[in-house]
């Protein structure tokens, strides 16, 4: 019991450090989900509607990103960009890598969603005289979005988990802050457990939200 109160003391001492790390974890996740989703939607549209050349490029990009571990993307983004004269700080380089990772996911989700919509719908839209952009805006996109949303929410949880990789390039998010705290008080068991608990709470929250969205977007049959 004494050990537990010592742990609580240490948590209280480190409260601002932990909160800062948590804040950075949330910022990293938000920034890379937002940027990755925008990039991913462009990617998904290219994969489905692009001309042959654009499709080839988009497919190559997607396969390359999906075949590379996220940690390698993070390290490569951090080291390569500075070598070729693009100076990003670790945070920016890390968010760039995670956005690229996220975009490949969102791109594939959107492609799958768009391709699963029956061709007859596009034909029907054409038959009643809609232009392609009208067809997309009123017929295809709403259905694709509905189908994508639950998976998209899961991607958000993926990004929170992937944000821990930025600790490797020195971004002081929650995991690196935890390691710093442990190097001061040597309570590795307690503090890794604590960090795990915080990540669990965030991700479990997102998972429940995802289930809720799934229920809400489900088409009753």
Partner 1 sequence: MGYTLNFSAVWRNFDQLLAGLLLSLELAFVALLIGAGIGLVVAFALTGRNAWIRRLAALYVTVIRNLPILVLILFAYFALPQMGVRLDKISSFIVTLAIYSGAYLAEVFRAGLLSIPVGLKEAGLAIGLTPGQIRRSIIIPLMLRNVLPSLSSTLISLFKDTSLAAAIAVPELTFEARKINVETFRVVETWLVASGLYVATCSILAALMRAIERRLTIGR
Q: For binding to partner 1 (CB under 8 A), which residues are involved?
A: 63-64, 66-73, 75-76, 79-80, 83-85, 157, 160-165, 167-168, 175, 179, 182, 188-189, 192-193, 195-196, 199-200, 203-204, 207
**158 is written with which tokens?**
């993926």
Which residues are CB-neighbours of 162 under 8 A, at least 6 positions away? Answer: 32, 70, 98, 101
Which residues are CB-neighbours of 134 under 8 A, at least 6 positions away? Answer: 125
Q: How far is CA 170 from the centre of its chain?
A: 19
- In this complex, which beta carbon is closest to partner 1, that of residue 211 or of residue 216? 211
Q: How far is the CB of 155 from partner 1 (least distance, A)?
A: 14
**97 is written with which tokens?**
């890598």
Q: How far is the CB of 187 from partner 1 (least distance, A)?
A: 8
**Euclidean distance between CA atoms 217 and 149, whole angstroms:** 8
- In this complex, which beta carbon is closest to partner 1, that of residue 61 or of residue 152? 61
- In this complex, which beta carbon is closest to partner 1, that of residue 135 or of residue 167? 167
- Alpha helix stretches (DSSP H) within the chain: 2-13, 15-49, 52-67, 70-83, 90-115, 119-127, 132-135, 141-162, 174-185, 188-217
Q: How far is the CB of 129 from partner 1 (least distance, A)?
A: 41
- In this complex, which beta carbon is closest to partner 1, that of residue 126 or of residue 161? 161
Q: How far is the CB of 207 from partner 1 (least distance, A)?
A: 6
Q: How far is the CB of 132 from partner 1 (least distance, A)?
A: 33
Measured between its terminal Cα atoms, the distance across the chain in Å is 55
- In this complex, which beta carbon is closest to partner 1, that of residue 31 or of residue 158? 158
């Amino acid at each position: 019991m004494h050990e537990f109160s010592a742990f609580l003391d240490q948590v209280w001492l480190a409260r601002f450090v932990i909160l800062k790390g948590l804040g950075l974890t949330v910022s990293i996740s938000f920034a890379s989900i937002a940027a990755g989703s925008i990039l991913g939607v462009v990617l998904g549209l290219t994969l489905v509607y692009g001309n042959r050349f654009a499709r080839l490029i988009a497919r190559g990009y997607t396969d390359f990103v999906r075949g590379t571990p996220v940690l390698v993307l993070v390290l490569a983004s951090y080291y390569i960009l500075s070598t070729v004269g693009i100076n990003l700080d670790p945070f920016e380089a890390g968010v760039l890598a995670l956005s690229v990772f996220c975009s490949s996911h969102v791109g594939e989700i959107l492609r799958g969603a768009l391709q699963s919509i029956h061709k007859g719908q596009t034909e029907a839209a054409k038959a009643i005289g809609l232009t392609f952009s009208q067809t997309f805006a009123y017929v295809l996109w709403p259905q694709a979005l509905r189908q994508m949303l639950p998976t998209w929410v899961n991607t958000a949880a993926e990004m929170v988990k992937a944000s821990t990789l930025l600790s490797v390039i020195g971004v002081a998010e929650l995991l690196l802050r935890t390691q710093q705290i442990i190097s001061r008080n040597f309570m590795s068991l307690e503090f890794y457990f604590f960090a795990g608990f915080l990540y669990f709470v965030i991700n479990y929250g997102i998972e429940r939200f995802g289930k809720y969205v799934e229920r809400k977007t489900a088409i009753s049959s």
